[in-house]
Structure 1
Amino acid sequence: MSLYWRIFLLNAAVLVVAVLLLLGPVTVSTPVLLGEAIVLVSGLIAMLIVNALLLRVGLAPFQRLTRAMLTADLLKPGRRPAVTGHGEMAELTRTFNTMLDRLEAERATSSARVLSAQEAERQRIAQELHDEVGQTLTAVLLQLKHSADHAPDALRDELRQAQETTRGSLDEIRRIARRLRPGVLEELGLLSALRSLATEFSTRGLTVRPHVDAGLPKLDQETELVLYRVAQEGLTNTARHSGASRVDLHLRPLSQGGVRLLVRDDGRGIGRAAEGAGIRGMRERALLIGADLTIGPGESGGTEVRLDATGGAKGRTA
């Protein structure tokens, strides 16, 4: 029976009972006596209460489905409203769940294409920075050195200063190129890449300590890249926004297979700040490999980024 007919019949039943009462033991005089008025008002209140309760029970599944629609997030998949009730309500809930499945699959596919194109573009830019800008600055450095060696004393100090400025710019270009294209990840693997990240982000005011447990499974290339990028983004957010003095970077095996990445700092915490593009990017990357990403307060304050990647393992290393 459809929802329309259920509500119609419930209201009809209430009205029929009221009419039967008026035709039977309940009568109305003219003018209305006090006792009759009390009976009629009490009956009206009772009918309204019963009608409200019946409507609440009948429409409760709609309220649950509405809450599910309001809280649905394609970056946090897996949440589905339970299929309850019968008829139209159950069919509507199943249709909504099917729609979420399709949207999440399409979002994952489109995100994979976008991130793949993004990585390719990063590699192209890094290559151009290294080959074009890097070589140009190297040539400028050699020319400045030659000029400084043959310049009069009055200009030598200025040329030396320009040489140091150019050398600093060249180092910065190389650092940017390394971040755009993690060559150490491709050449030496994930563990060396994470240790290199820790060294890169360690400054006078921030200490990054890498912790890598033994018995890690062998991961595919896509999973390693996601782990590296999430660690990189987590450290970037910590360095820019947290005010932390220490960060612990953990990589450990999971009992059910896969690995867990932890980036835990002692900063001011994330609080109720809205998620920015960096965190949304981490969530999209996690979806690519079916990983679970959790961002929240740490056990002793600060912020903790946890990524559980159970897919992509190829068996444990010796």
Structure 2
Amino acid sequence: MSIQEDIVEEIGRLYGFSNLNPMPILAPNTIGRKSKKRIYEDKIKNILLNLGLYEITTYSFIGGNIIGKSKMNTHNTVKILNPLGEEFSIMRKSLIPNVIDVLAKNLNYKNEDLLIYELGNTFHIVNGNKVPLEKKKVVIGCYGKYDFYYVKDIVVNLLSILNIENYEFVKNASIDYFHPGVCADIIVNGEKIGEIGQISYEVCKNFSIKKKIFVCEIDIEKIRDKSSLVRIYEPLIKYPAVKRDLAIIVDKNIDSGMIEKIFRDNSNNLLKNVELFDIYTGNQIDEGKKSMAYKLTFQSKDKTLVDEDINTVIDGMLKDLNEKLGAYLRF
């Protein structure tokens, strides 16, 4: 006998367990529940699963080698004092290196098309504190038949279902691990909540990846207070939608987000959807220019829209595009 419970057990055995009167447990019964934070995270997982993504789970600690291959910033990283090995010596502050590694391994396994996500903790040193700050982030990664605009649509769907409005995609060519021409910050109410883009060719080469891969990472902590899981009922609009195709000529350095913002700012709340369906450079397009073709969907809650209503809105859009971006209509 080494602990006091052994003595109690021995007394019970000698006295006879059958001679002991059973008594109910006096501890209070509590019903298990999920915290609001957990409910929110599960909601995000369910949204992404319903959009066709596969969930992955990777280690929270990584090595300096994979960080270097990913061209991630190592500033304020959390280092483990007694790591299992060099490859497990740093607590991750981004989910992107892990998802790139998973995509690379699946390419080696000849999985042709892949669309995955991970929701997990990242760790950050703030103001020199010894105890790191934990942040929940979600990352999306893909290759094959999936491209930048497919990932962007997933993000738009996610934000819309979470009732997050006033979001925009702002071009940012200064992110080291992204291709400078295919990357953007995700902004909500003026605050950066994530980033999206194509992984640079240099990083892909470091991982022996020969296909284009696309990644998006969102800080869940920053969007939780901006969203609501409560859905407000709105009846379907009984008036028909009107669709118009619009092709405009702009400078090559102009990104679609800038154009879409001008469309929405001049729509008089009639523009329901903007879809970029073609980008063209070549014959009949001046050097340094490109043609961008959009499908615009207009709809009113109050009446059936006529040509005069649509033309007035489009004229305002074209005027603002010309004044701000030097863009003009392609004939």
TM-score using structure 1 length: 0.24
Greater helix share, structure number: 1
**Rg comparison, structure with higher value:** 1
